[in-house]
Amino acid sequence: MPRIEERCRPPWHPHWVRICTGTGDIHPTPEGVRLHVAPGTGERYHLAELDDTHMRPRHAYLWRPPARLRVRARFSSPATLRGTAGFGFWNMAVSTTADSVAFIAPQVFWVFLASPPNRLAVTPGWSGRGFFVQSIRSPTVPRLVERLGALALRLPLVSRLAYRTAQAMVPAAEQPLDDIDPTAWHTYLLEWEAARVRCLVDDQVVLDAPIAPRAPLGFVAWVDNQFAAMDGTLRGGWLSVEHAQFLELSEILIEGT
């Protein structure tokens, strides 16, 4: 069983790819490592990311169920976040430019922090932003259809119809974490099985659902200034960052097949 253990102190495990753009940087702290975005304009993308997906094609991503991810982490204040931050498993499903966003059949299981104007709800009845855990299992889509769909989604009427169809047809499990303070240190455990996911925070179950993403997936942890809004039309872009924002990590443990 593959196993990656990172104590978030130099020297880094050779497994990781570290990516920084704009005002993003990654630096050590007394507790571990901080993925950090300093103030900057909304005219460009600001990102600090740790992953094992870049430089690999999607079919060669490393993780398959059963897999477990344990992360000890804390975030900067949600009140000053401008963009998104989080960690978990994904298939590099989102591409955002200054004025548009594209989704590629998302397969994700992650802990997510999103500021306004993000609206990332697949299931109805909640805002699609704030602090939450999310699992999405999109249907398998041929690559050509993905590309054509990404172009079509820029048309308002098509985008509105696609969003309503996704809410009805794309299996997703989404749980707001309103009772958890993301600025405090917590231990998060993501358990990914072939047909089920569970998320625990400090050993307390916060999500247990029979909806699991399709393999293979990669690991990602990040903080950035982007937004995506699925609210009848599909909008996306970059936000100006007025205050420093970060995701701090002190432990990452991944075990899978």
**CA–CA separation, 29 and 117 (whole Å):** 30
Q: Which residues of the chain are modeled with pLDDT < 50?
A: 142, 144-159, 161
In a domain, 220, yes or no: no
| Of the candidates 36, 37, 28, 38, the residue with the CA atom closest to the CA atom of residue 8 | 28
In a domain, 218, yes or no: no
Domain holding 134, by residue range, is 3-210+226-255
In a domain, 127, yes or no: yes
In a domain, 215, yes or no: no
What's the pTM? Answer: 0.89
pLDDT (0 to 100) of residue 55: 84
In a domain, 117, yes or no: yes
pLDDT (0 to 100) of residue 152: 45
Q: Name the pairing type of β-strands 94-96 and 101-103.
A: antiparallel
In a domain, 251, yes or no: yes
The count of domains in the chain is: 1
The whole-angstrom distance between residue 179's C-alpha and the CA centroid of its chain comes to: 20
In a domain, 216, yes or no: no
In a domain, 134, yes or no: yes
**CA–CA separation, 169 and 147 (whole Å):** 20
pLDDT (0 to 100) of residue 165: 56
Which tens digit of pLDDT belongs to each residue from 45-76?
A: 999 999 999 888 888 999 999 999 999 999 99
- With a CB cutoff of 8 Å and minimum separation 6, the contacts of 47 are 19, 20, 21, 22, 24, 37, 222, 223, 224, 225
